[in-house]
Structure 1
């Protein structure tokens, strides 16, 4: 039985919409957490400090040591919630690629994880990004392919032409065959 669903994809690829569709379509209750939740929970000073997380004007992201420390605690906290009975959908952007995947694996050790790659054509993701007020221009294009390098997935979905509902249905089939 799957305990955790991890959706990895670039900015504006459709992770949140898919996660919400999953919550509404799965027969049991699932909590949803996003890397954006972690960033939003941090003090504003973390968005400026070298040890925090910096967002470049070109859409680049540079996580520092304190951000990584807090991120690790957040990941382990989610793992502990799952060990205590919660089922969780995680939306993440593996900026550091395989290293990010390895951190999640360590935090979720012993749990059944479904790894989902959420793909989207960079041009389509960029158009979605331009419609959002909470994104730095360029994030979608810079992340669209790089977050997937070296990652092994149980399922891959592509939101370029596939609806979030259909993506959720495909993922749901792996949870409730």
Structure 2
């Protein structure tokens, strides 16, 4: 499983789609947006357990965190069963988010990828999207990487997502890829 972590509007989803086209074998891509879309009101209902605060800060209920763990457990089961996965994630709590994922994925082989983007560039991208809460991209651009340990890092500030995907594909060892 390849885990892409980066802030909102950093290019993770585009990199994931590009990787699907260039990596050998069939790769499935899932992300935090997939999980949120499955929640009540696509994440906008109070029943989803997500609170969007001014300035782009997001808070989660205990019930939401339990569902997140179930989500990760399901993805881990798919990977253990032989599916090749790319997870598009936003570790809002930095290293604590990575540890939550790592502990749930257990024995699953993980390749950790940091997707960096300058906060101003991410904010400009965010402003062009209708599905984002203003301020999230700037707030997350640096905080999601706090304390997170990566195998590979890319930066979409000046490189296209296709270039970043090609770089990642070249960096991944042949042992880590399906044959």
Q: Is residue 2:101 matched to residue 1:89?
A: no
Q: Is residue 2:133 matched to residue 1:136?
A: yes
1:18-53 CA deviation, whole Å, 9 max, x = no partner?
000000111111000010111110112964438701
Q: Is residue 2:124 matched to residue 1:127?
A: yes
* Equivalent-residue separation in structure 2 for 1:176 and 1:77 (angstroms): 26
What TM-score do you get using the length of structure 2 for normalisation?
0.92
Q: Is residue 2:155 matched to residue 1:158?
A: yes
Task: Quote the residue 1:77 is aligned against.
Answer: 74
Q: Is residue 2:56 matched to residue 1:59?
A: yes
Unaligned stretches of 5+ residues in structure 2: 175-179
* Equivalent-residue separation in structure 2 for 1:32 and 1:107 (angstroms): 18
RMSD: 1.6
Unaligned stretches of 5+ residues in structure 1: none
What TM-score do you get using the length of structure 1 for normalisation?
0.93
* Equivalent-residue separation in structure 2 for 1:9 and 1:45 (angstroms): 21
* 1:99 aligned residue (80, 96, 101): 96
Structure showing the higher helix proportion among its residues? 2
- How much has 1:173 moved relative to structure 2? 1.6
